[in-house]
């Protein structure tokens, strides 16, 4: 589904992506891991068209996405930080996003799932970080798209909301969706990821299953396996 070839990106003299090659097949949960500064966010922003690479090719479903925008109608994106207009209510924000996208939305099921009904008329500026993240999840999952990109989706979530998030991700996988996720919570990766892509200094150092990584590093704990990979 996603094909990335020889991707380069520099910010001034800093090389962030250094000839990155990556193939991700349709369907499944793919965790993009790496320490801060490894290139994860830049890679995601290149996929979204928010950052233009200096060199290389990105294709989704065999079609180049560079300098295009239409393909974004068939992907959902959850940003790491939910920077919402503080003067809008939750319901106003949801309706605004619905009006911006040419797709049918299914927000009520998600509102019920995350218990957001009491907050619908509250201003976003008055919500806790965890509640904002639940709103963020509603905005992400209320549209039916083939590609779902989740940047640190577990931030601020309570245990029950985290269970619901993992259920949503697994449901999306069952329905044939492709899910890319970045997270520092290795227990989530260990539980749900089909494949890991580990970035370091703008290059891929590992791509494969959690089991394969543990075997390669001779570790039974995923956090220890990642630490071994980094060293």
CATH code: domain of residue 32? 3.40.50.300
pLDDT in tens, the chain (231 residues): 899 999 999 999 999 999 999 999 999 999 999 998 899 999 999 999 999 999 999 999 999 998 888 898 899 999 988 789 999 999 999 999 999 888 899 999 999 999 999 999 999 999 999 999 999 999 999 999 999 999 999 999 999 999 999 999 999 999 999 999 999 899 999 999 999 999 998 999 999 999 999 999 999 999 999 999 888
Separation CA 67–CA 217 (nearest Å): 40
- What six digits make up the tokens of 213? 């990584």
Q: What is the rounded distance in angstroms from the CA atom of residue 145 to the CA atom of residue 156?
A: 25
Is 88 within 8 Å of 96 (Cβ atoms)? yes
Distance, in Å, from the CA atom of 89 to the CA atom of 103, rounded to the nearest integer, reads 22
Number of domains comprising the chain: 1
Q: Domain of residue 81: give its range.
A: 2-230
Joined together, the tokens standing for residue 55 give 């060199």
Which tokens sit at 90? 């939750």
Distance CA 148, CA 169 (A): 9
Contact assessment for residue 210 and residue 217, using Cβ atoms and an 8 Å cutoff: no
Collapsing DSSP to helix, strand or coil, 58 comes out as strand
Q: Quick one: CA dihedral 53, 136, 128, 184, positive or negative?
A: negative
pTM confidence score: 0.94
């Amino acid at each position: 589904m996603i094909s990335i070839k020889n991707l380069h990106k520099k910010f001034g003299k800093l090389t962030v992506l250094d000839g990155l090659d990556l193939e991700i097949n349709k369907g499944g949960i793919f965790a993009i891991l790496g320490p801060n500064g490894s290139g994860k966010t830049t890679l995601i922003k290149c996929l979204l068209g928010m950052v233009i690479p200096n060199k290389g090719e990105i294709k989704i479903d065999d079609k180049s996405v560079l300098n295009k925008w239409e393909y974004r109608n068939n992907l959902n994106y959850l940003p790491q930080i939910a920077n919402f207009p503080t003067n809008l209510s939750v319901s106003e924000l949801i309706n605004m996003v619905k009006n911006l996208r040419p797709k049918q939305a299914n927000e009520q099921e998600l509102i019920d799932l995350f218990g957001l009904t009491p907050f619908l008329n509250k201003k976003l500026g008055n919500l806790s970080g965890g509640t904002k993240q639940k709103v963020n999840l509603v905005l992400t999952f209320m549209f039916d798209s083939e590609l779902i990109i989740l940047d640190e989706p577990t931030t601020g979530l309570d245990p029950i909301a985290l269970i619901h998030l993992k259920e949503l991700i697994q449901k999306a996988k069952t329905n044939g969706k492709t899910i890319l996720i970045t997270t520092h919570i290795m227990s989530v990766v260990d539980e749900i990821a089909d494949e890991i892509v580990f970035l370091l200094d703008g290059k891929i150092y590992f791509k494969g299953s959690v089991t394969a990584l543990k075997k390669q590093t001779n570790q039974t704990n995923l956090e220890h396996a990642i630490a071994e990979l980094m060293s």
